[in-house]
Structures are given as C-alpha cells and as structure tokens.
Amino acid sequence: MAGPYTRSRRAPALACVALTAGAALAACGDGSGTAEPSSPAPSPSSSSSSPGGAPAGETLVLRWRKTGGIAGLGGPGSLPDFSLYSTGRAVASAQGGPTEYRLKPDALRRLLDGARAAGLARSHSVGPGGVADAITIVVAMDGATTRIVQPEAQSGPEARFLQRLDPAAWPPSDLTRKPAPYRSEKTAVLAGPTTGSATVKAWPLEPLGKGVPVAGAICTVAPAAKVPATNPDTAWRSGGQAYSVRLRPLLPAESSCRDVK
C-alpha cells in the first residue's frame, strides 16, 4: 500500500480518514463517511478468526480516510483507507484489493498510545480552512475526529504520525503473521442509476431495488462468493429496471448496509 499522501485508488478511497477507534467508527460526514470509534479503546486481544470473520468482542479502534481533491476521493460508500481493530487486526485498502495485517498486542498498544500522544483522540482540525478541493485526511479515534487538511504541507504531530498508520511500513517483528488479502464473507451491493452502459446483464441475486438507501445508493448484502464481478461499463437489470452497481466488502465488525457510510 502506498503511503497516506501518495496513494489514490477507487474501489476504496481515502477520504474522510475516519479513524474508528474502539467501537464502530463510521465514516466522515462530509460525504465521505467517517467512522466514530468507541472510547476508550479496549485492550488488545489475541483471539483469532477466519480472514473474513470478526471474533467476539472485536471492535474498531482507529480509522482514517482520504477525502477531497479534484477527483472527489472518499465518497459515500467507499472503503476506508485504513481500519484498525481491538484484536490487532488492520485492513488497508490497496489497488489489488484490501490487505489484512495482524499486530502483536504490544505493537498495537504502542500504536494507540502514539496516536493519542499525537492528539488524535481529541476532535480538531489542522491546516487551512476554506481551500476548495483540498485533500483532507480524516482520522477517527476514541469518539473524536481529526481533520488534517493538505497533510503533505503540515509538520505537526498529527501529520507526522500518519506515517505510522501505513501498515506496509510496519516491521515484520510487530506482526503475528505475513500480510494477506482480506477476504470478506459478505459484500455490500450499492445500486444506482445507469450511465449509458453498453453492456446489460441480468442481476442474479436479491432484487436491487428492494434494498436499503445508504451512501447515496440502494444497498443489499450478499455472500461475497456469489456476487458477480462488475465494472462501470456494465449495467444490471433487476426487477424490470437497469442499475449501475458498486461493490463494497464488509469489514470486520460490519454486518449490514447500515454499517456502510
């Protein structure tokens, strides 16, 4: 995964770096979904689970998302750039798909202590205000939201600490095992208006129009193994109507469309 300042991607975009620390950090509110972590963060647990399953008691403790820019990063329903959980599990978005990391308990404590020392556990903003299309990193932790505007131009503790929230740079000695692709058991299917797609296919799962309105779309949840691959050039016919479809894997501690912001 590229660092917090350089990586851009679509499937998940780092918008409202919502650092969901402790509980369920949703997504930032500026149209980028921010997660709000519960506070205080629970002590690290060594419980294990299958790659897509969340062990009992696993909660979100910190999350960040990149938003803004001319391309409109981190829009509603996008995958957060980074999510950290009370078990030491972390899921980071990447071009090839989300990647899962597993921190040792001591490494998790050091990371959370460092985040609090950097001021990420209190709500505030860093950087200039009123800058159109400014790249902003939104971090959620302990129920607080920190907005770092134009992070590449900031030199304070908040911006410096972002480097430690790039799991690709974590030393192997801090991890319980090698990073691996994150495999979600369920996928949120986000259906919306078509955009003149040339290819139209029949949607094979639950009717798209009978879902829940979230993130500017109609959302249904389906087993990840049954969801067909799609792209922006494909429209899906369901219930007599055609829809464009975006896919968003559910993360640990997420179970329904209501968890997608």
pTM: 0.76
Task: Give the domain range for residue 40.
Answer: 27-181
- Judge if 47 and 160 occupy the same domain: yes
How far is it, in rounded angstroms, from Cα 187 to Cα 25?
18
- Judge if 158 and 54 occupy the same domain: yes
Contact call for residues 122 and 128 (beta carbons, < 8 A): no
- Judge if 170 and 198 occupy the same domain: no
Mean pLDDT of 58-82: 87
Secondary structure (H, E, C), 68-83? ECCCCECCCCCCCCEE
Band of the pLDDT at 71, cuts 50, 70, 90?
low
Paired tokens of 21? 């620390």
Asked if residue 8 is part of any domain, the answer here is no
Q: For position 241, what pLDDT does the model report? A: 94
Percent of the chain with pLDDT over 70: 77
Asked if residue 255 is part of any domain, the answer here is yes
**Residue 106: pLDDT over 90:** yes
**Residue 30: pLDDT over 50:** no
Q: For position 50, what pLDDT does the model report? A: 40
Point out the domain boundary residue: 159, 181, 203.
Answer: 181
**Residue 25: pLDDT over 60:** no
- Judge if 177 and 207 occupy the same domain: no
Point out the domain boundary residue: 129, 155, 181.
Answer: 181
**Residue 145: pLDDT over 90:** yes
- Judge if 152 and 70 occupy the same domain: yes
- Judge if 141 and 204 occupy the same domain: no
How far is it, in rounded angstroms, from Cα 142 to Cα 124?
13
Which of these, 80, 76, 79, lies nearest to 215 by C-alpha position? Answer: 76
Point out the domain boundary residue: 141, 165, 181.
Answer: 181
